[in-house]
């Protein structure tokens, strides 16, 4: 039997209090504050690895083209803010810019390979990143060069 009188709500409803929500929010914000710099440093590290992987692929491409007979027409030209891949077989030029904050130490340098696969202009190129320095070494004799972290 219901009368028209006001019935109070059930007081046993469970939920979170304001204090519990504030504690949870503090834990989440603290976790984000700690993990964000770590994630950014991992991203930069992976970005460097990827850049040098692509550069090694470009160097190998130029060497393979030279061994195939297109010597000195295909080359890599390293400049202050970028390097250019000149592929004589496909008659394509690709410019790959260094990530922001990276600079090439010294003057422009052109790398090409002879028909026997040796480097036509041996030498070293130093690339300065935000935190590291890398030497791209093109040795005298056979080989295609390698990257060394200083």
Mean pLDDT, residues 92-102 taken together:
88
* Within a domain: 8: no
The pLDDT of residue 145 is above 90:
no
Write out the DSSP string of 32-92.
HHHHHHHHHHHHHHHHHHHHHHHHHHHHHHHHHHHHTT-TTTSEEEE-SSEEEEEETTTTE
Helix (H, G, I), strand (E, B) or coil at 107: coil
The pTM for the full model equals: 0.74
Tell me the C-alpha distance between 37 and 15, whole Å. Answer: 35
Number of compact structural domains in the chain: 1
CATH number at residue 75: 3.55.40
Structural domain containing residue 143: 18-149
The pLDDT of residue 22 is above 90:
yes
The pLDDT of residue 84 is above 80:
yes
């Amino acid at each position: 039997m219901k009368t028209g009188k006001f019935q109070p709500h059930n007081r046993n409803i469970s939920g979170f209090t304001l204090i519990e929500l504030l504690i949870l929010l503090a834990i989440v914000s603290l976790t984000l504050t700690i993990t964000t710099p770590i994630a950014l440093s991992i991203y930069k590290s992976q970005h460097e690895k990827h850049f040098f992987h692509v550069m090694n692929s470009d160097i190998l491409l130029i060497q393979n083209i030279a061994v195939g007979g297109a010597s000195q027409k295909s080359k890599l030209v390293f400049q202050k803010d970028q390097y250019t891949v000149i592929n004589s077989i496909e008659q394509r030029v690709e410019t790959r810019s260094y990530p922001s904050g990276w600079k090439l130490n010294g003057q422009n340098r052109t790398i090409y390979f002879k028909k026997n696969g040796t480097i036509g202009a041996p030498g070293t190129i130093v690339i300065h990143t935000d935190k590291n320095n890398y030497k791209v070494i093109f040795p005298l004799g056979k080989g295609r060069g390698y990257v060394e972290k200083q």
